[in-house]
Amino acid sequence: MLKVTIPASRTSRTPSPKTSLNDMTTIGHVAFTGLQSTLCVIKDMAGNVGIPGLYAGIAGLEIIVSVSQQFLANDERISRLLERIMGLDIMLQGFQAGGPLPQQIYQRVAKLVLSWENEATKISELRDRGGVIKWFTAKRDGVMLEEILDSINQSIQDFLLECAFNTEIGVHRLQHDISELKRLTKHNLTLLQASKSTGPSMSSPNTATSGENIMKRLEPNDPVFLEVHSYFNDRWLRDPELKRPTIKAIYQVSSWSDRGSGHLQKYSAYRSELRKALPNNRLIEEPLFHTHHATRQCALGDDLSETISPCYKSSCSLCHILRCDFRDDLVRKSSKSMWGSGFYLTTASNKASYYSRNGDNHSPNQAALLSKVLVGIPKLVSARDSSLRAPPPGTHSIKAITKDQGGEVIYSERVVYRADAICPWVLILYQF
């Protein structure tokens, strides 16, 4: 089983975008030194083949940050990238401590360093012509550099989120197997004792309690907390009506009930099916926020307990999702919705906040649920079609085009039509 151990000494985060240029240069040196040493060890772990372009990739990343620091001053993209680099170092150290490097991780790291080298080549060619200062004074060229930074930031973040989530699936499955073994062992001992004293027992294994999905509050230095925190803030798009809130707590599903484990197995099977059918499409799975039908009718997480479990209120649709209970009338949009009867999600955390409801519980917090979603090949749509009950043939989900590109929605909208395409992951509690 894949095991990730997080070194406690390197879980600090980069200062805010207001950090001075000198400070960012120092932070950058630390980040690159750590990442380079970690990747070198991983290269040795990978054997004689190594990671192609490892040193060229690291050098390329340094060029990108160096030029960006020089010409974009204190742009938040730079500090965010340095933050991502340090997070990548922490995650890779965890894989290093956990045993042999998984093949899928090796392949992803190789793609990352190759992309760093390619992007740096674009910048280096222009710099070597001697006109880099003039080049960067043009608005379109500044935008190009910003796009390069955004692209690298996003690729590293996607990698970190995928590593964090996929690692957890293995851990959760093992935890469930151990729990089930303990339950059956205890039950068999009870039957044995009963048969010795009073004859055959009339009880059945089905009468055992099925347990609950349990969520654990993450510490601020936990890698999953850090990545989810950044993801929530980065995806809070500029909104004239909502300022970006403060995150109070992040809870992650840490163990699964019988229902939850069954749903997780279906999700894993569907993911394997998609990966087999789409071997070259690595974006079949995305972290998405729930929008419609995520009302919280309880005070889940308000007391900041170490662990929490979803409630059983019939009207609390948020807890129904957390329990992997996807009954249609609570969590699926009706057939009158823009793209028919399906599960509606988004990449924009501010849009999710519009649909965050507390019911009658008067909670000081609002809740956003981030799930891992199997989007497969999405169908791009610009006009509503409320007749849909499934994605068009050859696709697996709906991706709505936003108004700025000629569509009907202001912010991102995704729709999937099968419950096993959704796996609850983390609950974010925040306040304005």
Regions of the chain with pLDDT less than 70: 1-56, 58, 69-75, 87, 90-106, 122-142, 162-211, 280-282, 328-336, 360-361
d(CA 160, CA 149): 17
Could you report the per-residue pLDDT of 14-64, keeping only the tens digit for each? 334 444 445 445 555 555 666 666 666 555 544 444 555 666 676 777 777
Provide the β-strand partners of residue 424.
Answer: 371
Report all structural domains of the chain as residue ranges with CATH numbers, in order of start. 8-170 (no CATH), 214-431 (3.90.228.10)
Could you report the per-residue pLDDT of 237-269, keeping only the tens digit for each? 877 777 889 999 999 988 788 888 889 889 989
The reply to whether the predicted model has a pTM over 0.75 is no
For all residues of the chain together, what is the average pLDDT? 72
Identify whether the C-beta of residue 191 lies closer than 8 Å to the C-beta of residue 237: no
Torsions phi, psi for 344 (to 5 deg): -100, 130
Q: Which residue has the tokens 């209120």?
A: 313
3-state secondary structure at position 379:
strand
d(CA 324, CA 303): 23
The residue type of 290 is H
d(CA 163, CA 224): 10
Q: Please, what sign has the CA dihedral across residues 237, 242, 243, 246? A: negative
d(CA 108, CA 119): 17
**In 10 A of CB 315, how many CB atoms?**
12
